[in-house]
Amino acid sequence: MAPRSQDGNSPYDDMGGHGMGAGMQFAMPSLTPMVKLLILVNGVIFGFSFLLSFSPGTWLGFREVFGISPWLWKDYFPLLPLWQLFTYGFLHDTNNLFHVVGNMLFLYFLGTMLEGLIGGRRFLVTYLSAVLVAGLAMLVTGLLLGTERVTLGASGAVLAIVVAMAVLRPDTRIIFLIFPITLKTFALIYVGFDVFGVLQELKGVDSNVAYPAHLTGALFGFLSAKRGWLWRDPVQGVERWREEREQKQEVFDAQRLDDILAKIHSQGINSLSSGEKAFLKRKSKAD
């Protein structure tokens, strides 16, 4: 899969892709900073995980601590392993190279598109938020069903990016395998595989794929694009809140200073309370 120039038997829940390979490509996008960072982090962690897998017991314990393990949330309540809701998204099946490679390819091609549109900070917030909501979906599903599978993988977050891009640029054409299709069509195909997988599981076919996480990620990506969540920058939000608070404080202090000066004028300086004197002293130093 690549953007095209456009005119106009795992023992745990595997969040792997669907075996969609890469085909012809008209242009290789340049890595954007956050996508590059995420691919690097995922690659390093996969390499570390692969080394751990040579000691099956060590790897089993590692993935149970850092993947989503619903039984740990019950057994250790109220000491909840909250970190799992993020760390699971950076772990992948060490027996299936296509699990991590497929996710990183989708992140590379479509993540760079999205980061180019909304900026690095917003992209990272969107990606991590998708990791969180997809993880919550798997945790709730696991708790309700009493499953003892561990959920690993970035597929829920990656699918959120795919769907968000399809909403923002539905008619952008890409090469899927050897076929030119629009992003909207590609997203529908991707989500369609997951819907089919859910129906298969309802028939009793166990695929070891975390379909609730995939579909929750897809829904989050859709809503993020449709409702404009993609464009919200929490850092800018905090800065605006701080500026507004400082402005309100300045207005309050100015009014209080006027009240104190009026009190001095009418009753004398000895009428001031210790708090009023401290405020007056602080303002005189600030000025």
Q: What would the 3-class secondary structure string for 180-218 be?
A: EEEHHHHHHHHHHHHHHHHHHHHCCCCCCECHHHHHHHH
- Out of 207, 232, 257, a domain closes at 232
Q: Are residues 173 and 199 in the same domain?
A: yes
Cβ atoms of 40 and 109 within 8 Å: the answer is: no
Reduced to 3 states (helix: H, G, I; strand: E, B; else coil), residue 96 is: coil
Q: Are residues 186 and 272 in the same domain?
A: no
Give the structural domain span for 280. 236-286
Q: Are residues 220 and 249 in the same domain?
A: no
**Integer Cα distance of 256 and 3 in angstroms:** 61
Q: What is the DSSP letter of 68?
A: B
Q: What is the pLDDT of residue 25?
A: 43
Burial profile 131-161: b = 16 or more Cβ within 10 angstroms, e = fewer: bbbbbbbbbebbeeeebebbbbbbbbbbbbb
Q: What is the pLDDT of residue 287?
A: 61
Residues ≥6 apart with Cβ < 8 Å to 121: 34, 233, 235
**Integer Cα distance of 55 and 75 in angstroms:** 25
Q: Which tokens is 232 given?
A: 């919200």
Split into its structural domains, the chain has a count of: 2
Q: Are residues 119 and 146 in the same domain?
A: yes
Q: Which tokens is 126 given?
A: 């969107």
Q: What is the pLDDT of residue 235?
A: 73
Reduced to 3 states (helix: H, G, I; strand: E, B; else coil), residue 25 is: coil
Q: Are residues 190 and 218 in the same domain?
A: yes
**Integer Cα distance of 156 and 126 in angstroms:** 12
Q: Are residues 216 and 259 in the same domain?
A: no
pLDDT in tens, the chain (287 residues): 655 444 333 333 445 444 333 334 456 788 999 999 999 999 999 999 999 999 999 999 999 999 999 999 988 888 899 999 999 999 999 998 988 999 999 999 999 999 999 999 999 999 999 999 999 999 999 999 888 889 999 999 999 999 999 999 999 888 777 778 899 999 999 999 999 988 988 887 777 788 899 999 999 999 999 999 998 887 776 777 777 777 787 788 788 888 888 888 888 878 888 888 888 788 777 66
Q: Are residues 134 and 262 in the same domain?
A: no
Cβ atoms of 175 and 25 within 8 Å: the answer is: yes
Q: Are residues 161 and 23 in the same domain?
A: yes
Q: Are residues 269 and 160 in the same domain?
A: no
**Phi, then psi, of 151 in degrees rounded to 5:** -100, 130
Angle at 89 between CA 85 and CA 90, to 5 degrees: 125
Q: What is the pLDDT of residue 179?
A: 79
Q: Are residues 167 and 281 in the same domain?
A: no
- Out of 197, 215, 232, a domain closes at 232
Give helix 155-168 / helix 183-202 axis angle, nearest 10°: 140
Cβ atoms of 134 and 89 within 8 Å: the answer is: yes
Q: Count the residues in the chain.
A: 287
Give helix 120-145 / helix 155-168 axis angle, nearest 10°: 130
Tokens 């809140």 locate to 241
**CA 152 → CA 46, 73, 92, distances in Å?**
11, 16, 6
**Phi, then psi, of 129 in degrees rounded to 5:** -65, -40
Residues ≥6 apart with Cβ < 8 Å to 263: 271, 272, 276
Chain centroid offset of residue 90 CA:
11
Q: Are residues 168 and 268 in the same domain?
A: no
**Phi, then psi, of 2 in degrees rounded to 5:** -155, 150
Look up the CATH number of the domain holding residue 151. 1.20.1540.10
Cβ atoms of 69 and 91 within 8 Å: the answer is: no
Q: Are residues 242 and 219 in the same domain?
A: no
